[in-house]
Amino acid sequence: MSDASRTRTVTWDDPAPHAAAARDRGGLESMLAMVRGEIPPPPIALLLGFRLVDVTNGSATFEGTPAEYHYNPIGVVHGGFALTLLDSALGCAVFSTLPAGVGYTTTDVQARLIRAITKDTGLVRCTARTVHVGRSTGIAQGELTDGAGKLLAIGSTACAIFRP
């Protein structure tokens, strides 16, 4: 047992007002406001320590730095860290194409973890792009890479689209 104590404190804003406001804007407009710091990130991003850094129509990029608090029992970053970055980038790529009043939710995510991630990996970047966005379904693919561009994981998603 280690006698060195470690703590992490996370503070976030109530996400409900920002989610309600997003329904009045298009997905791209909502996420650009987040990149500019006009609206706060969702609590999950603060909890896991990642952020949206770039968004265009049909593409979203998130970055995060793996840390010791992401570790699983075998001493590497838990796969959920990579999966959460992928899910966020993939879903937001689809969301970036949607007009005001149109919602979405992930129906499934598929991922392949290629390399172990540790606290020594440094900054990781996850970029996703849409493959198809139709009336009721959006599909996106993405890659998670390290600072040298080495591939860490790939993934894809399907999202249900809810139109009024």
Return the domain boundaries, the chain.
16-162
Q: Which among 45, 47, 43, 39 is positioned nearest to 23, based on CA atoms?
A: 39
Q: Are strands 103-113 and 124-133 parallel, antiparallel or unpaired?
A: unpaired
Question: Can you tell me the distance from the alpha carbon of 11 to that of 151, in angstroms, rounded to the nearest whole number?
Answer: 32
CATH architecture of 16-162: Roll (3.10)
Per residue of the chain (164 residues), what is the pLDDT tens digit? 666 789 999 999 999 988 888 888 999 999 999 999 999 999 999 999 999 999 999 999 999 999 999 999 999 999 999 999 999 999 999 999 999 999 999 999 999 999 999 999 999 999 999 999 999 999 999 999 999 999 999 999 999 999 99
